[in-house]
Amino acid sequence: MDIRGKKFVLVGGAGLIGSHTVDALTKQDVSEIVIYDNFVRGRMSNLEAALKDPRVKIYDIGGDILQSDILQSAIKNADGVFHFAALWLLQCQEYQRAAFDVNIRGTFNVLEACVQHNVERLVWSSSASVYGDAVEEPMTEDHPFKNTNFYGATKIAGEAMLTAYAHRFDLPAVGLRYMNVYGPRQDYHGAYIAVIMKMLDRIDNGIAPDVYGDGSQAYDFVYVEDCAKANVCAMQADTTAEFYNVGTGKRTTIKTVAEMLLKLTGSDLQINYLPEGETFVKNRIGCPKKAADEIGYIGDVDLEYGLKQLIEWRKNNIEEVAKRRDKNR
C-alpha cells in the first residue's frame, strides 16, 4: 500500500508502541493521523511531540473500542488502521471477562468497522505470547501455539478472527507478534519488560537489582522504535492474512540485561539472586526472517544503545516515571 497522502487511524495510539508509530508516521508523507484512545494505559505525555504536527489529532468524541458506534465514526474515511488496544497480560490473568470484552470483542469491532468502511489495510498487534515457551529456537511463525495464559488466548482468538475476515471479506490485514518490547515511554504493566524498569528503580535507589534463579531466562528484546518501524513496513506491504515476528532474533538472558544496566548506570552494585519465582515463559527468541523477506522489516537497534535511550528518557522524565510507577501500585 502506498501510504503517501493517506489518512490513518491508530486505535490505542497513545500507548508505548502506538505513540512511537505516530512519531514514525509523522516522518512520512501522509495526510492525517488520528489517535483513538481511551487513555486507560495510553498517556497524553506520550503524544506531546507528535501533537505539534498539524496532521496529528486526537479523536475527541471518544476512544473506547467497546463503543462500536463511536469507533465506526472514527474509522470512517480512513485509508489505513493500526490496532494496538488491549488489556495487558497480568490484567488478563485477573479479569478474564474484561480481557474477553476488550481483546476479543474489541478486536471484532475493529475488524467489522474496517470492512464496513472499506479500509484499505489493517495492521493489528498480536503478540509472541501466542507461542508460549519455545520448543525450538529461534521460533519461526510456524512454531506451535503453546500459550497457557489468558492474554495469549485472546491474541490467538484475534489472529483467527483476522484470518477469517481477510478471507471472507477480502480485508487486507496482517498481525505483528512483538517479542519483548522496551524503550522510552515504557510503563510498569508488562509482565517481562517491567523487570527493566524495576531494576532501574532499585539501582537509582542504591539497591542491588533482583534476578530470580540464575538469570538464564532468555528473551528477544526489541526496541520500541523498531516496533514502530515494523508497523509502517506492514502498512506499506501487500501481504494479507499473515503474521510476523517483530524482534531481533538475538538471545539475551535476564542476567545479561541486569549486568548491562549496572554498567550503563555506572553502578558498582552486584546482582541479588533470589529463588526462582513463577514465570509464564522462560525462553522465547523469534526468527526475524519472514518479516524481513515479506514486509521489509529488520530490527537493527542494538540492546545497549536502546537501554541507554531508556535510561536517558527516565532521567529527563522523573515526574512522569514516578506517575507510571505509582499508577501500577
Confidence of residue 326 (pLDDT cuts 50, 70, 90): confident
User: How many residues are given for the chain?
Assistant: 329
What mean pLDDT, rounded, does the chain reach?
95
Nearest to 292 by CA among 242, 244, 252, 251: 244
Ordered DSSP codes for 253-276: EHHHHHHHHHHHTT-----EEE--
Model confidence at 277: pLDDT above 80: no
Task: Give the model's pLDDT for residue 324.
Answer: 79
Model confidence at 120: pLDDT above 70: yes
Task: Give the model's pLDDT for residue 187.
Answer: 84
Residue 122: strand pairing partners: 81, 173
Main-chain phi, psi angles of 276, to 5 degrees: -60, 130
Task: Give the model's pLDDT for residue 313.
Answer: 96
- Contact between 229 and 298 (Cβ < 8 Å): no
Task: Give the model's pLDDT for residue 323.
Answer: 82
The rounded percent of the chain whose pLDDT value lies above 70 is 97
**Which amino acid appears at position 166 of this protein?**
A
Confidence of residue 193 (pLDDT cuts 50, 70, 90): low
Instruction: Please give the model's pTM, rounded to 2 decimal places.
Output: 0.96
**pLDDT digit string, tens, across residues 50-61:** 999 999 999 999
Domains of the chain: 7-183+221-248+283-301 (3.40.50.720), 194-218+252-281+314-328 (3.90.25.10)
Nearest to 205 by CA among 257, 269, 263: 269
90/92 Cα distance (integer angstroms): 5
* C-alpha cell of residue 162: 483476522
- Contact between 212 and 275 (Cβ < 8 Å): yes
Across the range 3-29, mean pLDDT stands at 98
